[in-house]
Structure 1
Amino acid sequence: MHVAKKEIEVRYAETDQMGVVYHANYLIWMELGRTKLIQDLGFTYAGMEAQGIIAPVIDLDISYKKPLKYGETAMVHTWIEEYNGMKSVYGYEIYTPTGELAVQATSSHVCVHKETFRPVKFRKLFPDWHEAYEKAKK
Structure 2
Amino acid sequence: MKIAEKQIEVRYAETDQMGVVYHANYLIWMEIGRTEFIKQLGFHYADMEKEDILSPVTDLQISYKKPLRYGDMATVRTWIDAYDGIRVTYGYEIFTSDGELAATGKTQHVCVRRDSFRPILIRKYFPDWHEAYERAKK
Scaled by the length of structure 2, the TM-score of the pair is: 0.99
Structure 1: which 4+ aligned runs deviate by more than 3 Å? Answer: none
**What residue number does 1:60 align with?**
60
The alpha-carbon deviation at position 71 of structure 1 amounts to: 0.5
Q: Counterpart of 1:69 in 2: which secondary structure?
A: coil
Which amino acid letter does the alignment assign opposite residue 10 of structure 2? V
| Whole-Å separation in 2 of the counterparts to 1:54 and 1:25 | 22
**What residue number does 1:44 align with?**
44
Q: Counterpart of 2:94 in 1: which secondary structure?
A: strand
Q: Percent identity among equivalent residues?
A: 65
Q: Does 1:118 find its partner at 2:118?
A: yes
**What residue number does 2:79 align with?**
79
CA RMSD in angstroms comes to 0.5
Scaled by the length of structure 1, the TM-score of the pair is: 0.99
| Whole-Å separation in 2 of the counterparts to 1:12 and 1:98 | 19
| Whole-Å separation in 2 of the counterparts to 1:50 and 1:11 | 32
- Paired residues, what number? 138
What 5-or-longer segments of structure 2 have no aligned partner? none
**What residue number does 1:5 align with?**
5
The alpha-carbon deviation at position 115 of structure 1 amounts to: 1.1
Q: Counterpart of 1:67 in 2: which secondary structure?
A: coil
| Whole-Å separation in 2 of the counterparts to 1:103 and 1:57 | 19
Q: Does 1:88 find its partner at 2:92?
A: no
| Whole-Å separation in 2 of the counterparts to 1:114 and 1:65 | 36
Q: Counterpart of 1:8 in 2: which secondary structure?
A: strand
Which amino acid letter does the alignment assign opposite residue 54 of structure 1? L
Kindly provide the CA deviation profile for residues 51-84 of structure 1, in whole angstroms up to 9, marking residues without a partner as x: 1000000000100000000001000000000000
Kindly provide the CA deviation profile for residues 84-137 of structure 1, in whole angstroms up to 9, marking residues without a partner as x: 000000000000000000000000000000111000001000001100000001
What 5-or-longer segments of structure 1 have no aligned partner? none
**What residue number does 1:25 align with?**
25
Kindly provide the CA deviation profile for residues 22-66 of structure 1, in whole angstroms up to 9, marking residues without a partner as x: 000000000000000000000001110111000000000100000
